[in-house]
Chains A and B, each alone.
Chain A
Amino acid sequence: MALHAEHDLHSRRRSRNTGLGIVLLAFVALVFALTVVKVRQGGLVEAFDHQPRVSLTPVEPAPKAAP
C-alpha cells in the first residue's frame, strides 16, 4: 500500500465533517428564509422613535354625534 493512500478513518471523518457542515449551512439558510417570510407576513412594523407620531398614538373613540 502506498504511503499516501488515505486511511479509511480519514474518509469517515471527512464524511462526518462535510455532512455536519452542510447541515449547519442549510440551517442558517433556513432560519434566514424563515425570517424573511415571517417579517413579510407581519405587515409593516413601526417602533417608537422618541417622537409622537399619528400612526402610533392610540385611537380615540369618535365623539358621539349629537342627536
Chain B
Amino acid sequence: MTDINAYETAPEAEFGDYVALLKPRVMSLVVFTAFVGLWVAPVDVHPFIGFCSILFIALGGGASGALNMWYDRDIDAVMNRTQGRPIPSGRVQGTEALGLGIVLGLISVMMLGLVANWFAAGFLLFTIFFYAVVYTVWLKRWTPQNIVIGGAAGAFPPMIGWACATGGITVESLLMFALIFFWTPPHFWALALFMKEDYHKAGVPMLTVTHGRRATRVHIFAYTLVLAPFAVWLGLTSIGGPLYMAVAVVLNAAFIRGGWQIMRRAEDEAVADGYAVEKRVFKLSLYFLFLHFLALLVQGWIGGW
C-alpha cells in the first residue's frame, strides 16, 4: 500500500517576502534623505542620473537590510515584534537572504559607480559594510551604545547623495550626517522607554536594561542638547537659509523641552499616564527629522542666504 503524506511545512516564499528582506520602511528614510543630499548639492545632476543614483543607494540600503536579517535570524526568532519576518517564519532560508544581500550589495555598488562616480560607490560599499558588519555583527550584541553607532549607518545616505553630485565630502554633508547621527539615540531610546521589548531575552544589551531607565532618560536629554548646535550650524552653511533656520530653531527648542520633560519624570509617573510624554516626544522626533530635511529641500529650491 502506498501512502501519500502532505507534511505541514512552512509555506514557500512569495515575491513580497524577498521585498520584506530589504526592509522597505528603512529604505523610505534612505530614499528621502539621499534625495535631499543630492538635491541641495551645488552641482546640477541630470534628473535621470539623479533618479538612478537614489535607486541604487536605496538598493544598497536594502542589501544591508537583508544581511542584517540573515545575521540576526536567531534574535528575530525570539522577539515578538520580529517573529513574523521572512526568515524566522520559515518562508525564506537564511542562506538565501545572505546570497541576496551580497549580490544586491555588489550590484548596487557597481551600478552607482557607473551611474554617478566611484567615490560615491565606495562610500555606499562602506555604508553597507558598516551596517552589516560593524553594527550588526560586532557592536549590536556587545555594547548598549549599539544604536548610537548604528545610527551612523542611517546617517550616511545624505552624504552619499551629496557625493553623487559633487564627488566629495564637505562641511554641509558632514553636518547632514551629524543631524541624523545625534537624532537617532533620543529617537530610539524614547521608543525603548515605552515599548519595553524583549531585547534581554534575545541577549541584546539595551541601555534601558543595562544601565536602567533613569540613565536612559538622562541620555535622551543629553543627546537633544548635543544635536541642537549641529542642526543650527547646518543652517549657517551654503545650503541653509531663513526658512531652514526658523524650522531648526523651533523644532530643536521643542525637542530639548521634550528631552527635559523625559529626564524630569520618574518611572512611576510615566507608568501612571501610560508613557504619554515619551510617546509624544517619539512622535515629535519623527516630525523633527522629516521637517528638517523637508526644509532643506524647500530652501534649496527657493535659494538660501
A residues with CB within 8 A of B: 8-9, 11-13, 15-16, 18-20, 30, 33-34, 37, 41
- Known contacts: A30-B52, A34-B52. The answer to whether A13 contacts B12 by CB under 8 A is yes
Q: How many A-B residue pairs have CB under 8 A?
A: 35
Contact yes or no, A34 B15, CB < 8 A: no
Q: Is the interface of A mostly helix, strand, loop or mixed?
A: helix
Contact yes or no, A37 B48, CB < 8 A: yes
Contact yes or no, A19 B115, CB < 8 A: no
| CB neighbours of B266 from chain A (8 A) | none
Contact yes or no, B15 A20, CB < 8 A: yes
Contact yes or no, B48 A34, CB < 8 A: yes
Question: Can you list 9 A-B contacts (CB < 8 A)?
Answer: A12-B11, A12-B12, A13-B12, A15-B14, A16-B13, A16-B18, A19-B18, A33-B48, A34-B52
The CA-CA distance from A27 to B144 in the complex, in Å, is 41
Contact yes or no, B15 A8, CB < 8 A: no
- Known contacts: A12-B11, A16-B13. The answer to whether A41 contacts B52 by CB under 8 A is no
| Chain B residue, CB-CB nearest to A11 | B14
- Known contacts: A8-B11, A30-B52, A34-B52. The answer to whether A41 contacts B46 by CB under 8 A is yes
B residues with CB within 8 A of A: 11-16, 18-19, 46, 48-49, 52, 55, 114-115
The CA-CA distance from A15 to B114 in the complex, in Å, is 31
The CA-CA distance from A19 to B55 in the complex, in Å, is 17
| CB neighbours of B14 from chain A (8 A) | 11-12, 15-16, 19
The CA-CA distance from A18 to B18 in the complex, in Å, is 13
The CA-CA distance from A30 to B107 in the complex, in Å, is 13
* Contact residue among A8, A12, A34, A41 (Cβ-Cβ distance under 8 Å from B13): A12
The CA-CA distance from A19 to B22 in the complex, in Å, is 15
Contact yes or no, A15 B16, CB < 8 A: yes
The interface centre, meaning the residue of B11, B12, B114, B115 with most chain A CB atoms within 10 A of its CB, is B12
Contact yes or no, A18 B48, CB < 8 A: no
| CB neighbours of B12 from chain A (8 A) | 9, 12-13
Given contacts A8-B11, A12-B11, A16-B15, 6 further A-B contacts (CB under 8 A): A9-B11, A12-B12, A12-B13, A15-B14, A16-B13, A30-B52
| Chain A residue, CB-CB nearest to B47 | A37
Contact yes or no, B15 A15, CB < 8 A: yes
| Chain A residue, CB-CB nearest to B19 | A19
The CA-CA distance from A6 to B158 in the complex, in Å, is 46
| CB neighbours of A11 from chain B (8 A) | 14
The CA-CA distance from A13 to B48 in the complex, in Å, is 33
The CA-CA distance from A15 to B13 in the complex, in Å, is 9
The CA-CA distance from A41 to B183 in the complex, in Å, is 39
The CA-CA distance from A15 to B14 in the complex, in Å, is 6
CB B52 to nearest CB in A, in angstroms, measures: 6
The CA-CA distance from A55 to B161 in the complex, in Å, is 38
| CB neighbours of B115 from chain A (8 A) | 34
| Chain A residue, CB-CB nearest to B48 | A37
